[in-house]
Amino acid sequence: MRRLSVFLAAIGVAILTFNHLAEIQHWVINNSGNIIENSEQTPVDSMNGLPVLGFILLALSSFLGGIYHKKNVFTWAGVTFLVIVIGYLFKIMHWPGSDLLLTISFGFFIIIIIPWFTAFLMIRSVPSEKIQPEVENVNDADMSPDEKGNQESSES
């Protein structure tokens, strides 16, 4: 379950990263389904569906992480991602209220979820243990360096 959660999160972040790259480069999809640079031609579909898919994968990843870790932060992150998806769908359909939904959900994510998740990670981290040197022979640990040297010379 943990591996699936991490895999879905990685795919979701990759999709969102590609979407932002496409936004910066002004890439659109033409009639034949090929990605082209923005030209005078009116695009059939800009890549508005990619954030929806990316955030749905992140929401699924968050819910699976909540099942695995049994912490509320993952559930609330998943709900926040779903509200972001609804905001994007409102934006795609040009319905009123999309700006409000996106502003509130992104604000909640940045102000509440990220610090909460950071605190979860800090509490979960295990302090490093002192590393003890390995002793090959129990008798060697009890002997002084002079006795070890005498023992080695007597063995040869």
Q: Is residue 129 part of a domain?
A: no
Which domain covers residue 41, as residue numbers? Answer: 2-124
Q: What is the pTM of this model?
A: 0.62
Residue 140 lies in a domain: no
Task: Flag whether pLDDT at 7 surpasses 70.
Answer: yes
120 falls within a domain: yes
8 domain-assigned: yes
- What is residue 130's predicted lDDT score, i.e. its pLDDT? 56
34 in a domain, yes or no?
A: yes
| pLDDT tens per residue, range 23-80 | 777 677 655 556 666 555 554 455 667 788 888 888 888 888 887 878 788 888 888 9
**Total domain count, the chain:** 1
Domain-embedded: residue 18 = yes
SS (HEC) of the chain: CHHHHHHHHHHHHHHHHHHHHHHHHCEEECCCCCEEECCCCCCCECCCHHHHHHHHHHHHHHHHHHHHHCCHHHHHHHHHHHHHHHHHHHHHHCCCCHHHHHHHHHHHHHHHHHHHHHHHHHHHCCCCCCCCCCCCCHHHHHCCHHHHHHHHHHHC
Residue 92 lies in a domain: yes
